[in-house]
Structure 1
Amino acid sequence: MAIVIVTGVSGAGKSRAVNALEDIGFYCVDNMPPALIPKFAELCLQTNGKIQNMAIVTDVRGGTLFNSLFSDLEELRKQGGDYKILFLDADDAVLMRRFKETRRLHPLSKPGSTIQEALSAEREILRPARERADYIIDTSNLSPAQLKQRLTVLFLGDKKTGLVVNCMSFGFKYGPATEGDLVFDVRCFPNPFYVDTLKNLTGLDAAVKDFVFSSDATCQFLVKLFDMIDFLLPHYIEEGKSQLVVAIGCTGGKHRSVAIAEALYRHLLEKGVRAAVNHRDIQKN
């Protein structure tokens, strides 16, 4: 049985994640106190295979009950429950906007306190869970469809391959790629933005890709990038890493970084690596 413990900051999209996991066959339970997780898993194991994959959301809504998370997960492991922790995160500015749009109270809100104060308190409580998470997904710039694609690749792939590589493009003008394990700056290569016929296209268009890879320097970088990633992957797998985020950044996240992230994604698929690709800022102006 695959057991996914879903946690993270309020407003980061845990409900959307659970909906996506349900769509790919997981039995999902929201807002479960950690102490009940081993008991619930034991019950599911007694269904004779009727429940093969389960996802359990647990977070600060449980109050002080959440404090026992890791002792309860240790009990789960003693029972033979093999679990992974999925942590959902987002930028504070995005979270505050989401709370204002939905007009929902933060679970740690107190009379007279601000959303920012509640978020700061929550992050401190969740810090050990984030540090020990197997997968961290920043949903700040992910659409529901992109989140579902990420989760599908993570949890429907061949588990024997272990590591999942997410190739992400982004624009430095919109902020750093905070979830990137490896970050590459490609702003030094020729920019299609300054070509009138290419400015309003993206790195997904053939004309932009042709322009980007017409540069000898860009092509040499791509060869070196492939070589570095191919060298590193076996070492990450040996270390037991579950997810590797390779972030490629250009100025606006629309042309060069997109084309290069797509090329890396195709290279990894050809190598038989479980991989996904997403373009954080491709829709921005």
Structure 2
Amino acid sequence: MASSNSVPYEQLQKDYDEQASMYNVLMKWPFGIFENQIFASAVQSGDMCKGASILDLGGGTGLRARQTLAAGATRVDVVDISDEMMAVGKKDAEALLGTEGSKRLRWFHGDASKQLFGEGGVLGLTPPYDVVLANWVFDHVDDPAVLEAMWRNISAAVRPGGWFVGVRACDPRCDAMISGKYGPTCQDFSEFPDGLYYSSTIPGVGIPDVHLKNASLKVSYSGSTEMHELHGFYDVQIEPCDHLDIVKADPEFWQSWKDAPGFVVVKARKR
């Protein structure tokens, strides 16, 4: 995840470090199962990941990185501010992929809003990449300059013709995110000129709840494609959800999400 003015880098890092072992409880809720399925749908489309090199910004425990490996990627570089989240990811990768499979993942401590490449960048990153992932990283940002810096890193990392794939929050005040119907909730809303501060909670299942501070700029949560286009991306698409197994199993349950989703997965091509 990335730093923001509302949540200093050190505090955000501390929050994720302290809650790393609990974070994957998200996958026990409809929200998490839905996210798993819709992200898999996005990266399995066409040959996006076949033989691809991937950069996963804010990759946390590496769940999305492993999904791209399953879709055919050859290697994934994960960047995150939390060493503890990545420690969980390394352990999961070893258990699920084995020693050889886990070698296709590399882990780097870094902030998606800071310089990642060239002199002063994160040592060992090797752009260009075929695909860059940025999941939830825009939802800890209250400063347009920080958001711009993230997009510059994303654009610099992707080869021409490559892909951007990202999970981003929609308006967190929607019913899907305040009702608790799908698991996680958002609360404590406070507007600022360009966006919204709020907190989010992932309910624990036999463990303590996970609590996070968030800030989302309107240019991100509104669904605007301004930042994508400004940084060289086109054919911006929102991944549909009607075909997902979890949605087809209970369309009525998911109707309120479809009417006003809590998040979407966005894909775009680099010019």
The normalised TM-score by structure 2 is 0.33
Higher helix share: 1
Higher strand share: 2
